[in-house]
Chain A
């Protein structure tokens, strides 16, 4: 892969005594009906760190990522990105965060080029730079040759590559990746590894949920293991338990199924 330009969003630095964490959650919980997908997770992630989010199916990994991406609201507790509350200030959070989910968010009837052009407009890429950035992104993810092909003709791996290309179009300070290696062949997985390395190099915070623990190990600074919606283990650097306490009178999670 050519050394692509990685765009980085400027961060709010906080103060020298109290630098802002890239991600802060406090007693973060999300219920679906009476079932808690996330049951009170408190953690801090330092800026510029790449953190693996691991755990069995149903552990709450995707729910945590979706809350941080502002796709869903927390039921209880709080979550902040660069000091911005995801529930109170989602518009500003969206300017800093990009989310790669299981679904690619692509339009089948549009070509790869048209999908990225649409994304670039939505992401406020300067008009004069759109074509250049798209060309570079498509080359970086190995889809330049099929730029004019409709996405409906793409394999699952090609779709995932195109979704990865969308992440390269604009600056972000936090990337949330849900199983980025899934559906990819070995070359595709190597591409993800290389991108993770580049993002780490330029100081973008990355939270990556994956079952490919061994593959991720050399690419991350630390890891968080969730189990049953709870924080089970933290290891490595760049991530820590958030000891802050929820406000007195905050709704209790007691009594809900986990």
Chain B
């Protein structure tokens, strides 16, 4: 078996294991989704009943809700490794560290896509947005944003998993790094929903794709050090 195929098998096994653990702890998934939906609802209350204002703010609020809930999701994906020495055992398997990173990032990506897939229609309902006209660019934006978030989130969840104050440290370390992703994702979503009158959608998507590539390479190259004690 080639090294690439072996690494892909390892990454898929890790992602499958995380998915099984996540699905069996249904309360955690449901809580995260409810948390994100409540955040969106509260943003709506804060902005008032002005539908024009809500529509304008919708892309930013959507991505803020995805980011807040995503922080919970990626943190939890590493928390499963704190079960009875599981992280140390994972580190001691004779496998390429990049494959472990890819597996955890894949789990993060799946969680982010589920979050985005649920929150997009919630935003449409709460803020009166028509998704049908812009579904394709919205899906591309969501996918690229989710990849970048998972790439960064996996790295920082690895950094903080052994810390006592990990719930505080994860957002503290991660939010500044994902600021460019948040900006590009909000701009791309705004452009997609507005029909892209200034032709800027492609540029923002390119920025997101570039961010994803850089973060994935950096994460894969450095994640192995986080497994060392």
| A residues neighboring B (CB under 8 Å) | 69-73, 91, 94-95, 99, 101-110, 114, 118-119, 121-124, 150, 159
B6 partner residues in chain A, CB cutoff 8 A: 124
* Smallest beta-carbon distance B107→chain A, Å: 13
Query: By the criterion CB–CB under 8 Å, are A159 and B9 in contact?
Result: no
* Inter-chain contacts of B94 with A (CB < 8 A): 91, 94-95, 122-124
Interface of A, helix, strand, loop or mixed by DSSP: loop
Within 8 A of A (CB), among B62-104: 80, 83-86, 88-95
Q: Could you tell me the distance between the alpha carbons of A105 and B229 in the complex, rounded to whole angstroms?
A: 16
| Alpha-carbon distance A123/B10, docked complex (angstroms) | 10
Whether the Cβ atoms of B80 and A109 lie closer than 8 Å is yes
The total number of A-B Cβ pairs within 8 Å is 74
Residue in A91, A102, A109, A121 whose beta carbon sits within 8 Å of that of B13 in the complex: A121
Task: Report the 9 A-B pairs with minimum CB-CB distance, sorted nearest first.
Answer: A103-B85, A105-B89, A122-B93, A94-B94, A109-B21, A121-B13, A95-B94, A109-B24, A105-B85
> B50 contacts the other chain (Cβ, under 8 Å)?
no
**Residues of B181-210 contacting chain A, CB below 8 A:** none
Bound CA–CA A73/B24 (angstroms): 36
Bound Cα distance A71, B228 (Å): 7
Bound CA span A10–B1, Å: 20
In the complex the two chains form, is B88's CB within 8 Å of A107's CB?
Answer: no
Are B86's CB and A72's CB within 8 A? no
Contact A121 B86 (CB under 8 A): no
Q: Is the C-beta of B20 less than 8 angstroms from some C-beta in chain A? A: yes
Q: For B88, give its contact among A103, A108, A110 (CB under 8 Å).
A: A103
Known pairs A103-B84, A104-B84; A110 contacts B21 (CB<8 A): yes
Q: A105-B90, A107-B83, A124-B95 are in contact. List 16 more A-B contacts (CB 8 A).
A: A73-B228, A95-B94, A103-B89, A105-B86, A105-B89, A106-B89, A107-B80, A109-B24, A109-B83, A118-B17, A122-B10, A122-B13, A122-B93, A122-B94, A122-B95, A124-B94
